[in-house]
């Protein structure tokens, strides 16, 4: 499918798909507008030399923080921990975060528990940074460094471009913090890679999920965040129960469910996780499971097309981009409207 044909089809697709298709342009906006902000932040972080990093987020934004965790830990060698907002909002616990970096991630920037957590992190001595789409939000005004996601308006309940621009914000931050020419080149090329991913058709593979009740989605390392996000989207758009697991963890207790009546969607990227993840995929194929995978060269899998040669740091973004362009069709096949999931609202405010 050509990009022009895809864009024509997207005009008639649910809002979720049309918003997801805007992601490459949103990345370009983030580069154009925020590169100077990330450069200044990178210089500040090199001077500060934080001892550790903590994140605050919920839902898709917390999945983005998982990607940030692996990226920071593998590129910079700093430990990253996610703080549950209820530690502050309900348990009212002071936080001791001297010499640390705190990163809040949010589309709306309005959830009371995340605001309380951010206030407490700042009072506890952390440098506070926020990646936020809504620049009028309290969170955007509250932090030391506010960086807009530049996703633009997002009306579908299911977040798409705001999720991918959140991952991209982490990539930009780490590239400038590390001052790494290779990562900076990856940032510059990212919109083009996502356009290639958008043109790939995952629907034939995902159609295997239209009549099932549940599945596992596995990834490892940088790919863990993509698995988490895909599992959430299966639930909220298609009422399809999906659990995300590391390819290492799934071969323990969860493997007991895998078999002919329980499919698996397996993600890979070309880094140190590829060989062990491929071994786990082969094991699940051997159990008779229907395994949909970006590792299309493994005998017995249902191949999900992947962008050839994509940098490992971008592979989770391209996989999710392709997934977004197909999962809304599974929701429709199951008689659902992917733009209006039952029981959900666009902005979720928790305490």
* Domains observed in the chain: 3-191 (3.40.50.10490), 203-333 (3.40.50.10490)
Low-confidence ranges of the chain (pLDDT < 50): 5-12, 346
Tens of pLDDT, residues 187-231: 999 999 999 999 999 999 999 999 998 999 999 999 999 999 999
Q: Enter the tokens of residue 42.
A: 């990178």
Tens of pLDDT, residues 291-304: 999 999 999 999 99
Q: How many residues are there in the chain?
A: 351
CA 170/CA 254 separation, integer angstroms: 30
134-138 contact pairs (CB < 8 A, 24+) = 134/106, 134/107, 134/108, 134/109, 134/110, 137/106, 137/108, 137/109, 137/110, 138/109, 138/110
Task: Determine the pLDDT at residue 12.
Answer: 47
Task: Determine the pLDDT at residue 44.
Answer: 98
Task: Determine the pLDDT at residue 255.
Answer: 81
CA 110/CA 336 separation, integer angstroms: 28
CA 169/CA 185 separation, integer angstroms: 15
For residue 159, the tally of other CB atoms under 10 A from its CB is: 29
- The model's pTM: 0.93
> Pairing state of beta strands 291-293 and 145-148?
unpaired
């Amino acid at each position: 499918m050509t990009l022009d044909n895809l864009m024509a089809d997207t005009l008639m697709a649910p809002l979720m798909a049309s918003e997801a298709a805007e992601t490459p342009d949103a990345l370009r906006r983030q580069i154009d507008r925020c590169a100077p902000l990330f450069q200044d932040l990178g210089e500040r972080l090199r001077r500060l030399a934080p001892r550790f990093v903590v994140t605050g987020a919920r839902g898709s934004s917390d999945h983005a923080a998982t990607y940030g965790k692996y990226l920071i830990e593998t590129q910079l060698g700093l430990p990253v921990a996610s703080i549950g907002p209820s530690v502050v909002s309900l348990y009212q616990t002071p936080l001791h975060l001297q010499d640390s970096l705190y990163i809040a991630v949010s589309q709306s920037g309005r959830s009371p528990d995340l605001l309380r957590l951010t206030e407490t992190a700042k009072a506890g001595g952390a440098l506070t940074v926020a990646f936020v789409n809504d620049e009028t939000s309290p969170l955007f005004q509250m932090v030391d460094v506010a960086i807009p996601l530049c996703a633009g308006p997002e009306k579908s309940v299911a977040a798409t471009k705001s999720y991918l621009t959140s991952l991209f914000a982490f990539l930009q931050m780490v590239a400038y913090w590390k001052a790494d020419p290779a990562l900076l080149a990856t940032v510059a090329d990212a919109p083009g890679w996502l356009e290639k991913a958008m043109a790939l058709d995952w629907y034939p593979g995902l159609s295997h999920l239209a009549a099932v009740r549940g599945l596992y989605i596995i990834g490892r390392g940088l790919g863990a965040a993509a698995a988490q996000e895909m599992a959430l989207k299966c639930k909220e758009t298609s009422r399809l129960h999906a659990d995300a697991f590391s390819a290492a963890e799934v071969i323990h207790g969860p493997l007991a469910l895998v078999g002919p009546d329980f499919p698996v969607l397996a993600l890979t990227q070309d880094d140190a996780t590829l060989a062990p993840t491929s071994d786990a995929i082969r094991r699940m194929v051997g159990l008779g499971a229907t395994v949909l995978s970006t590792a299309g060269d493994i005998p017995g899998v249902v191949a999900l097309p992947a962008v050839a040669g994509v940098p490992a740091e971008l592979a989770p973004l391209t996989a999710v981009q392709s997934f977004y362009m197909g999962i809304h069709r599974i929701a429709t096949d199951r008689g659902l409207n992917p733009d209006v999931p039952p029981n959900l609202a666009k902005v979720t405010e928790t305490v």
